[in-house]
């Protein structure tokens, strides 16, 4: 433990440097070229076994201990978002309209420096540690599923992952048995009416009014149709009708998201949305097209591995509080890994106590306290070494 922690402290400045380099050079989901090459070269220079192009753009690096044993996987994502950065920082994004606004630059830096640290300790442990560097977490269908299909979990006995979380205080580690993050689905609706002159609504079928009625009533799906003891969110994020001011719209496009934790609730809401849409369009003499796209399933942690991780986190000196968190309505394709092998996904607090304003994830001014990377690296590293030691 002491060797791991002291080595990570020694390489902390390198971790920060890697994070800032990646932050300056972000790449969008499914468009990552330089980032996976950088990751692969770093691992290769260390002496790890490296597979590139896994599932498309993923990188898998394997560190083998001195003797045979179990295999632990650690996953880190590396894609950025289509956001124009508004931070005034020395390492601001150099790519117009693209930004690491979710912490994936930090996740990658953690995994790379942890690999460097553990490589120096490989004579001391049994088994293997696999570093799964995943592309395209931000956009469905995501990178996890094709990477799994391409064998990134072959031979893996357990998997751990973390998300640096800016709203949670530095020093807090949050865990949860069972569902910790929601299924993230999308719906897209086109309502077709009958266009006409704004002065003659009686000769038209107003798609805007029909769409507005649907959006207003949509909230009753959760408040009046879903069991109040079960969690769900339905949100509309896009409402579009490209029309002059004095013309009644013939068509509107509505897009939104559904977040749930249970498959039954997920299917129920999908069905209820279309039933509501049909009834409103029928009453308005409009027609519609409805597309419901299932995104990532809920992230469901395994009980044994979650308790193991909680116990590990308590041994990290910088961790001040380990507690069970409430489920988060955000989505994460780490879910697919947990459907295949035991493991757990936890939250590492990254809120700088001196910042007056903490901007949320996916905000143009998002940032996190880089000291959280050290906490995450210590927790993941100690979890990997302890698991291998306990399961020789």
Which residues are documented as binding site for Mn(2+)? 102, 104, 138, 163, 362
| Torsion sign (Cα): 164, 168, 172, 178 | negative
Q: Is 137 one of the annotated active-site residues of the chain? A: yes
List the structure tokens of 101: 């606004």
Q: What token pair was written down for 10?
A: 């020694």
CA–CA separation, 135 vs 107, rounded Å?
A: 12
Q: Exactly one of 27, 77, 79, 305 is catalytic; which is it?
A: 79
Q: What is the largest CA-CA distance in the chain?
A: 82
Picking from 40, 344, 249, the residue whose alpha carbon sits closest to that of residue 32 is 40
Query: Annotated catalytic, 96?
Result: no
Spatial CB neighbours of 273, under 8 Å, sequence gap ≥ 6: 187, 218, 221, 234, 258, 290, 292
Binding residues: 102, 104, 138, 163, 362
Give the active site residue among 32, 85, 137, 206: 137
Rounded CA gap, 185 and 187, in Å? Answer: 7
- Is 27:39 a contact under the CB 8 Å cutoff? no
Q: What residues act catalytically?
A: 79, 137
């Amino acid at each position: 433990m002491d060797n791991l922690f002291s080595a990570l402290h020694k390489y902390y400045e390198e971790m920060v440097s890697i994070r800032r380099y990646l932050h300056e050079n972000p790449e969008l989901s499914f468009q990552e070229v330089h980032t996976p090459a950088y990751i692969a070269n770093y691992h290769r220079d260390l002496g790890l076994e490296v597979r590139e192009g896994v599932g498309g753009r993923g990188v898998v690096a394997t560190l083998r201990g001195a003797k045979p044993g179990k295999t632990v996987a650690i996953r880190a994502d590396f894609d950025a978002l289509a956001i124009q950065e508004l931070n005034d920082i020395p390492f601001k994004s150099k790519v117009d309209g693209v930004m690491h606004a979710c912490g994936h630059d930090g996740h990658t830096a953690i995994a790379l420096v942890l690999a460097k640290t553990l490589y120096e300790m490989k004579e001391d442990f049994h088994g293997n540690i696999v570093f799964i560097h995943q592309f395209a977490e931000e956009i469905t269908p995501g990178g996890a599923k094709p990477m799994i299909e391409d064998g990134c979990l072959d031979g893996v006995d357990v998997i751990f992952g973390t998300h640096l979380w800016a709203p949670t205080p530095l020093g807090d580690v949050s865990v949860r048995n069972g569902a910790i993050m929601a299924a993230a689905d999308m719906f897209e609706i086109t309502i077709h009416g009958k266009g006409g002159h704004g002065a003659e609504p009686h000769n038209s079928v107003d798609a805007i009014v029909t769409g507005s009625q649907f959006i207003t009533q949509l909230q009753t799906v959760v408040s009046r149709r879903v069991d109040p003891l079960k969690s769900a969110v339905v949100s509309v994020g896009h409402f579009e009708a490209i029309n002059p001011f004095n013309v009644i719209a013939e068509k509107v496009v509505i897009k939104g998201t559904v977040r749930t934790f249970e498959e039954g609730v997920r299917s129920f809401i999908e069905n209820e949305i279309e039933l509501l849409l049909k009834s409103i369009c029928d009453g308005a003499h409009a027609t519609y097209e409805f597309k419901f796209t299932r995104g990532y399933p809920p992230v469901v942690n395994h009980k044994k591995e979650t308790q193991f991780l909680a116990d590990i986190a308590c041994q990290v000196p910088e961790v001040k509080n380990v507690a069970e968190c409430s489920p988060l309505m955000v989505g994460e394709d780490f879910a697919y890994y947990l459907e295949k092998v035991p493991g757990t996904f936890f939250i590492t607090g990254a809120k700088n106590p001196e910042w007056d304003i903490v901007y949320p994830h996916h905000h143009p001014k998002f940032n996190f306290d880089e000291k959280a990377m050290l906490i995450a690296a210590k927790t993941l590293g100690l979890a990997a070494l302890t698991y291998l030691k306990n399961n020789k």
